[in-house]
Structure formats: structure tokens, C-alpha cells
Amino acid sequence: MLASDSEGVLVLNVDPAREVKVSLEELRETPVLGNGSLLVKDGLIAGVVFEGETMAGTVWLEYEGKLHASCEKLVSATETLARDLAKTLGFPLITQPQPIEAIEGSSIFLISDEFGLIMIRDQPEGTAPATTKLQECFSRLW
């Protein structure tokens, strides 16, 4: 029984009718992701696929001194937390779908409510300051 386990994920679902469902789910191991995990639609980064399923979350890239969230808008709690952290830390953020070509020379990570920040591809030491700082912040929370 999950309630007797020492770790789990508390899941809150709020639907448009404002009904709330609370559940406790097993804590899953953080997936290992790479460039091959990226989901591309019409040449734009649309998400991440792991074990045949599209993961919830948003792909972020850092290049040309800015963070880029590959989506129309940020909606989840973790995405807005990452946005607020970036703003507080003084890192510019652009929220718009990113072309797959943007991965060249970029630091790439997934922001997920379940896992926090998961690196898809690291950059060499010191070349992705916003990513490094967000990783530090998220490592304290997850």
C-alpha cells in the first residue's frame, strides 16, 4: 500500500468544473533523456517521449544568452516556478515553440511537475549559466 511507503507523489487534479481529485502515486525513477527523446512536430520541438509515452512538461533550451521554453504558454506549477526563478535571477525567457535546429549548441532540459528539471543534454561547464542556476534551485526542491 502506498500510504505505508516512505515516498510517493501526491497528485492534485483540478478540472474545469473545479472538482478536485487527490491521489497518492508511486514515486517513479527519474528518466534518463537524450536528443532522441525529443518529440518534433512540423519541425518544432513539441515535447519528450520516454518509453513510448509523451511525458508531461515543457522542453527548455538555453542559447544565445537566453532561455527558451518551447511552448505557446506556461501553465503548470513547475513551469511557472521556473519562469519566476529565471526572472528573479535576471535570465531572459522567451516562450514560443522552438525549431529542432535550435538544439545545436544549446543546453536542453525538461521542466516537469513530477520530476522538476531533467537534463536532456548538458553543455560544457560554464557555457549555460541560466541552466546551471535553475538546476541548483531545483535540486534543493526535488
Which CATH number do you get for residue 61?
A: 3.20.10.10
Does the structure show a pLDDT above 60 at 15?
A: yes
Does the structure show a pLDDT above 50 at 128?
A: yes
Mean pLDDT across the chain, nearest whole number?
A: 88
Query: In a 10 Å sphere around its CB, with 0-12 CB exposed, 13-18 middle and 19+ buried, how is residue 86 labelled?
Result: buried
What cell does 42 get?
A: 512540423
- What pLDDT, in 10s, does the model give residues 42-58? 999 999 999 999 998 99
Q: What is the pLDDT of residue 6?
A: 64
- Residue 70 identity (one-letter amino acid): S
- Residue 16 identity (one-letter amino acid): P
Does the structure show a pLDDT above 90 at 118?
A: yes
Number of domains in the chain: 1
Residue that the C-alpha cell 525529443 belongs to = 38
Q: What is the pLDDT of residue 1?
A: 45
Specify if 5 maps to a domain.
Answer: no
Q: How confident is the model at residue 122 (pLDDT cuts 50, 70, 90)?
A: low
What cell does 89 get?
A: 535571477
Specify if 105 maps to a domain.
Answer: yes
Does the structure show a pLDDT above 80 at 95?
A: yes
The whole domain housing 68 covers: 33-141
Specify if 122 maps to a domain.
Answer: yes
Specify if 82 maps to a domain.
Answer: yes
Q: What is the mean pLDDT of residues 107-132?
A: 86
Does the structure show a pLDDT above 60 at 5?
A: no
Specify if 104 maps to a domain.
Answer: yes
Q: What is the mean pLDDT of residues 80-91?
A: 96
Specify if 11 maps to a domain.
Answer: no
Bridge partners for 127 per DSSP: none
DSSP 72-138: S---SHHHHHHHHHHHHHT--EEES--BGGGGTT-EEEEEETTTEEEEEEPPSTTS-HHHHHHHHHH
